[in-house]
Amino acid sequence: MMKFLKKLSAGRIIALGFLAVILLGSLLLMLPCSIQDGVTVRYIDALYTSTSAVCVTGLIAIDAGDTFTPLGQFFLGALIQVGGLGVTAVGAGVILLMGKRVNLKGRNLIKEAMNLDSGNGLIRFVKNIFVVTLIFELTGAALSFLVFVQDYPPLKAAGISLFHSVAAFNNSGFDILGNFQNLIPYQDNVLLNVVTCALIFFGGIGFLVIQEIWRKKFCWKKFSMHTKVVLSVSVTLIIVGGVLIKLTEDVTWLGAFFHSVSARTAGFSTYPLGTFSNAGLLVLTVLMFIGASPGSTGGGIKTSTFFVLLQGIKSAATNKSEKAFRYSVPADAFRKGAVITLIAAGIVVTGTFLMVVMEPQVTLMEALFEVTSAFGTVGLSTGITPDLGDDSKLLSIIIMYIGRLGPLTIASLWYYTKGERARYPEGNIAIG
């Protein structure tokens, strides 16, 4: 087994790691001790739920609150945590706890999984990830407890608060309130809305950015180009998305901005999305497609990719070099961003087509929204998920898996050679 793994590239090991955790999670969720008395769970639904948890999505075919026992909910929360931190980071953390050293192969895996440019300080970075996660999740749980304890007994409120905090920081829209209600009962609760948005935001900007914000003491001038791009694009998308949602839907300003934050890969909702207009759903779809930031717990094409695409278009239109924040944009950034976006768009379009074919009762907008939510590992839905057929659920499982690994990682899994030896003369091709 070890010889087999040594021959695999970092991308393939990460992909197999996520797949192994998904399959293990589906079996844990099928255990009799995980399921409430009188409830029957089919394997396809357990697999769907496990995939949604490990891929930190939040799409649900069965309600977690009404289906699983406290132990089953614990398994679900653990899957969300492993999926959010990443299989390699969790594995490295376990190795460090055992007092052993992470070998060179393990370091390369961490570097690949976290989208890091350098291998320097990897172990310290992994340790910081666990510390940051613990601080945010415990703080979020404590603040959420102040809300949930008003409606539930203290012990149950504590469990709900911890689960909610883990799900929110890892950008996974799961809840254990039951009856598919998500956070709709708390749509006017300012504290829970703000706490949830804060957890989603910091979980979605990436651990590298959080670390830099802390080390450079919130000084904008000292931030790197990456941090400035992530923060500026994230805040801009939240503001623009919130305003557009407010203009298209009959929701409060609090609800509009909550959904603008949540649509960027979290998947919590305080209003039933089945009542949203096509215009509102389209706004959410665009936000879901863009997603979170590199090295974070979220999905999508990423905010930095979106930024680079805009800079490339601006450069082509003005005939000026690509630059921002007194830095030049890396020469190959636009090419890489364009590849990621085209692959992502192809996956979404293909998935939408297949879902419309397999589910003729579903409208085009509903299918597009569902597939984009799966690809962006968001978890928002117009309410069609529980009624999907097994083939459509399997399709969503594949799309969630691709979305969590990233389109470029999936594409690189097929590399078998080091490159071509032959070179051909450059030809002409008309563009535009």
The pLDDT of residue 130: 85
Measuring CA to CA, which residue among 161, 227, 231 is closest to residue 201?
231
The pLDDT of residue 98: 63
What is the phi-psi region of residue 206: left when phi exceeds 0, alpha when psi lies from -120 to 50, beta otherwise?
left
Q: Which residues of the chain have pLDDT under 50?
A: 416
The pLDDT of residue 97: 63
The token duo for 282 is 């389209």
Contact between 205 and 232 (Cβ < 8 Å): no
How far, rounded to the nearest angstrom, does the alpha carbon of residue 281 sit from its chain's CA centroid? 19
Count how many residues are written for the chain.
432
327 backbone dihedrals φ, ψ, rounded to 5° = -130, 150
Cα–Cα distance measured from residue 254 to residue 45, given in angstroms and rounded to the nearest whole number: 33
**Cα three-residue angle 234-237-238, rounded to 5 degrees:** 85
Q: Could you tell me the CA-to-CA distances from 391 to 62, 68, 394, 396, 430 in Å, in that order?
A: 16, 24, 5, 9, 41
Contact between 66 and 35 (Cβ < 8 Å): no
Write the DSSP assignment of 325-348 as a string of letters.
TTEEPPTTHHHHHHHHHHHHHHHH
Contact between 107 and 119 (Cβ < 8 Å): yes
Please report, for the chain, the start and end positions of each structural domain, with discontinuous segments joined by +.
Answer: 2-117+124-412
pTM over 0.85, yes/no? yes
Q: Tens of pLDDT along 248-288?
A: 999 999 999 999 999 988 889 999 998 999 999 999 999 99
The token duo for 155 is 């012990």
**Cα three-residue angle 25-106-122, rounded to 5 degrees:** 110
The pLDDT of residue 211: 86
The pLDDT of residue 28: 95
Measuring CA to CA, which residue among 354, 366, 373 is closest to residue 278?
366
